[in-house]
Amino acid sequence: MEFNIDFSNMSYSEIHNYVLKIENDINRESIIKMLLQDGRKTVQKLGDKMYKSIELKEKEIQRVKKMYEFDKNFGNYKYIAGVDEVGRGPLAGPIVAAAVILDLKANGSSDLILRANDSKKLSIACRKELSYIIKEKALAYKIIAIDNKIIDEKGVGFCNNQVFLDCCEEISIVPDLVLLDGYKIKNFSSLNEFVIKGDTKSISIACASIIAKVYRDELMLKYHEEYPNYGFDRNVGYGTQEHVLAIKKYGTTPIHRKSFLRNILENNN
């Protein structure tokens, strides 16, 4: 298709609106060149901004491609599940884990899950958007939660391992290999490998990290509506000063982990 546009007869506002619509235009390099050669400083800055935006996107594509390659380099497995948990340390709420199986053959930027990373490095809005995208693109995923009562009864270490087991056993596609962030699953018959800082290296683990985090955070928001004095909408159950002071003032709720609160409750007597 022939590229034919004259920016010289267009106002900055018209050029700006035009540029917003051409992110994937095959002529964008020619467009950037024209913007940079324009006599108006504002238009030149627009060209420079467009160039830097494309450069950043290309870096992001290459970063995420490496995460896909990391998973594929474990071997010729058809289905690789990434597994991660969130909520091991809070004073209230469940421990949550997710397992995600992706199509690791994805190549085009539209197929890649860009911005995927350790969920703690992402904004709330970014995590929520990515959680939706991950669920749409995943071949299969499973989210499991174990509540505070079972954590109190059996211990967080047991529950941490059990929530991994449940995810891997209940996901709709049986994985050939399971990748985890930090350590292996105990008493698991299938092949599983641990990856140190896996949520920054493995695309599958990063995606599991994100959907588990979003699920648990949204659950804690609902609990905040039921128990508004504890700041669950901000601390999601973790032991912030605000949360500890609320426990001392108002006591515990049905979602608090009593086994985590012994020192706090003893010091309050």
User: Is 152 annotated in some ligand binding site?
Assistant: no
Concatenated DSSP letters for 86-153?
E-SS-SBS-EEEEEEE--TT--STTTS-TT---GGGS-HHHHHHHHHHHHHH-SEEEEEEE-HHHHHH
Q: Where are the beta strands (DSSP E) in the chain?
A: 80-86, 95-101, 140-146, 177-181, 192-195
Enter the DSSP assignment of 230. G
Task: Supply φ then ψ for residue 239, to 5 degrees.
Answer: -85, 60
Any idea what DSSP says for residue 185? P
CA 158 to chain centre: 25
Question: Is 153 labeled as ligand-binding?
Answer: no
Asked whether residue 233 is marked as a ligand-binding residue, the answer is: no
Phi, psi of 49 (to 5 degrees): -65, -40
Q: Which residues are annotated as a binding site?
A: 84-85, 181
> What residues are designated binding site for a divalent metal cation?
84-85, 181
